[in-house]
Structure 1
Amino acid sequence: MKVGIIGLGFRLGYLGYVFKTLNEDFEIVGYCDPAPAGLPGLEEKGVSAGKAYATPQELIASEKLDLLMIGSPNHFHLEHIRLGLEAGLKVFCEKPVVTTIADSIELARLMAKFGHDRLMVGLVLRYSPLYKDLLAAQAKGTLGKVVSIEAAEHIYPYHGAFFMRDWRRYEKYSGSFMLEKCCHDLDLYNGVVGARPERVASFGGRRTFVPENDPRLSGVNDMSMFHSKPTGWMGTDKVFDSDADIIDYQVAIVEYANGVGMNFHTNLNVPDQFRRFAIMGTRATAEGDFVRGYLDVTEVLSNEKVIATKYEATELSQHYGADEQMAADIMEHVNGGAHLPVSTLNALEAGILALSMDEARVKKTVVDLRPIWDRFDEALHSTKAA
C-alpha cells in the first residue's frame, strides 16, 4: 500500500508507525509539510516518510497512491480532501473533518458528488473495545430505550497547557476546543442515541489558564509540567498568559430529535483525568470510563450488574486499544472495501453538534439545529456538481 501524507504532524507520525507495525506493505512514499513535527518520531522508529514535496498538488501528481492521509491543521482539511477526491484517491482525514458549518455543508456536497466510501475519518474511539461492547449490549436490548446521558471528558493540566501553546489555541485554525478535542465523545453518544441533536444550550469560558492563576505568583517556579507535551506549528511557550481564544471549561445540554437528553462537560485542568459516561436506559444503566478502563451495566429492576468488564491499555495504542484496530480496519477497507464503524456523515454530524454548542455558548441562547440539518441534507442529496 503506497501512501502519501499531507500534514506530517505528531498524530500522523504516530499513526504511520502503527500502520507500518501492523502491515509491512504499508509504505509512505511522500509527504508535504513545511515543518513536519512527526518526522523525527517516524525516523526514530525506522519508518521512512519518503520524499518531501513542496505542495500537495505536487505530491498527488508525482506518486501513484493507494491512500492519501491528511493530518494538516484543521482549517486546511476541506481543501486537502477536495484535492484527494478530485484526483480519484481514497482519503483518510484526521478529526475534526472540517471546522465550520459552511464547510460541513460544502463537504456534504462533495460527498454527494464523489460518494461516501472514498473518505475515511479518524474518529478513533469508534474502534475501541469498550465502545464496541457498549453497542453490543445496546443491540441485545439490555439497556432498553435510551432516556438520558451524562458524559464528560476532562484532561490533565499538562494537556490543557498544550492546547494553550499549540496552533489549536486559535479557533480560526482548530474550530474550537469542543470540536478539536471532544468531537470523539460527541460522535460516540450520537451513535448510542441513534438520532440527530435538535436543540443545544452551552456555557463556558477561560477561568484556569489566565494570568492570575500562574503558579509562579505563588512561588512555584518549576513549570516543566506545562511544557512536557511538545507543540509543532505556531507553538508558543506561554501558558497562563497565552493569546489563546479557546475555552478551558465548557458544559452543554442537548436534546435529540427522539427526545433523548444529554449533558456534557469538559475541563482542561483536572489532576486525575477521566473520559466517562452514564447512559440511562429504561431497563439498565451503562457506566464506563475509557481512561480508567471499565464498562458496567446494571439492571434497573433487579439492581444486578449484568456486565462488568475491565480493559487493559495496549502498548501500541494511545486510545484505549483503538488505534491499532482503526489502522487494521482502514487498511482492510482500502484493500477490499471492508465496512468501517464510523463514516464521514457521522463525523459531520458530531462536528455540527460541537459547533452548535459553541454558538450557543457565545450567543447565550438555545440553538435550534433543525434549519442547519435542512441545509445540510439539501447539500448531502444534491445532484449538482460540488
Structure 2
Amino acid sequence: MSQAPLAARMRPEKLEDYAGQGHLLAENKPLRRAITSGQIHSMIFWGPPGVGKTTLAQLIAHHCDAHFITVSAVLAGVKDIRAAVEQAQREKQYGRSTILFIDEVHRFNKAQQDAFLPFVEDGTLIFIGATTENPSFEINNALLSRAQVYQLRALDEAAILGILQRAVSAQGWSAQLEQLQQLALQADGDGRRALNILEIAMDMAEDNILTEACLSAALSDYCRRFDKGGDLFYDQISALHKAVRGSSPDAALYWLTRMLEAGCDPVYVARRLLRMASEDIGNADPRALRVCIDAWDVQERLGSPEGELALAQAACYLACAPKSNAVYTAYKAVKQDIASGGSHEVPIHLRNAPTRLMKEQGYGAEYRYAHDEPNGFAAGENYFPEALQNRKYYHPVDRGLEKKIAEKISHLDTLNAQSPIQRYPRK
C-alpha cells in the first residue's frame, strides 16, 4: 500500500476531475482555452492553501506534454534554479517545452528571481508560481510583468464533498453522506485538509467504516483557516471594522469570534477595537473608548475565556453606539494643513513667560484668561497663528453626544462673531 498521504494519492490526473475554480476553467474561459490549445504562458496562481494550485500546474504540464520541474522556494537556491534551466535546455533540444513550477514563489529573493527570468523571456522555461500571499505586495514587479496572475478561490462545500466521495470510492471505504457533508463544512474551503482529516479518521476506523466517534476524534484538533500576517488576516480585520462601522453587532461578533477561535492575538483585537472607538464613534459616545480600554484590561488581567467575552462585549457596544468620524476627519485635515502650510510661529499672546526677559519681550502680555471672562469664555479671542485664523476642522455630527457638542460650538461661534473684541479682526 502506498505510504503517500491520501491528498497526494488523490491528485486528479485529468482536467475533468479537477474540483472547483470554475471561474477560471469553465468552457471559453481564457485559462481553459490556453490549456486546451496548448498555448501555455507564464502564470502565477494566487489563493489560500488546499485549493489546487500545485495540482492545476501538474495537470497543465500533463495536458500539454511538457516536462515538469517543481521547486520549493523555501528550500531552493540559485544552484537549483540553474539545474532546472539546464534540464529545460536539454528538453528544448528535443522539441519539448518545460514548465518550472515554483511553490511559495513569494519567498524567492531578487537574486533567485534574476537567475531564471532571462530563461522565461527567451522561451527556455514556462514559469508557473504558486503563492498564498497577494502578489502585488510580495512578488517583484519584474516577475509580475512576465506572468499572468490567476486568483484561485477557496473550494465550496459541493466541490469538497465531491473530492471526499471520490476518495472514499477509490479507497474502498464506507462513509455516510451526512458524515462527508459535515467534513466538507469543517474543511473551511481547503480540499487537502478535508482529505487529511478523512485519512486520520479512517486510520482509526475498523473494517474501513467511518464512524461518528472516529470523525469526531479527527475533527477535535481542527483549527479554522487564519494566516496571522497575510491577506486573510487583514480581510477579517477589515470585515470586523466595517461591521462595527455599519452598526451590525451580529456581524461584528461573527468576525471577532472567527478571528479569536482561529488563534488571533486577543491584544491585537483589543487595539483595533480601541481604534474603532476613536475613528468611527468618537465624541458621539466617548464612553466607547473607556469600554474598549476596560475590555483590554480584562483580557490582560484574566486571559481566556473572560478576556474574549469582554472583547465581545466591547465589539457589540461599538456596533450599537452612535457613529461619528468627525474627530478622525478633523485630525486628518489638520495633518494636511501642517504638511502643506509650513511651521507657523506660536502667537506671542499664547506664549508662556517664565523669565523676566520673556516678559519684557511681551510674551503672554495680551493673553485673556478665560476664567476671568463672562461665562468663562473669552469671546473674540483666537488661538490659531494669524495665518490660520478662524479655521474649522471639527464638524460634529447630528448624532449622540455630538449633537449637544455641535449646539455648544454654534453658540460659542455666535458669541465670537458678536464680540466687540477681536484678536484678529475679520477681513
Same fold (TM over 0.5): no
Greater relative CO, 1 or 2 (CA 8 Å, sep 6+) = 1
TM-score by length of 1: 0.25
Which structure is larger by alpha-carbon Rg, 1 or 2? Answer: 2
TM-score by length of 2: 0.23
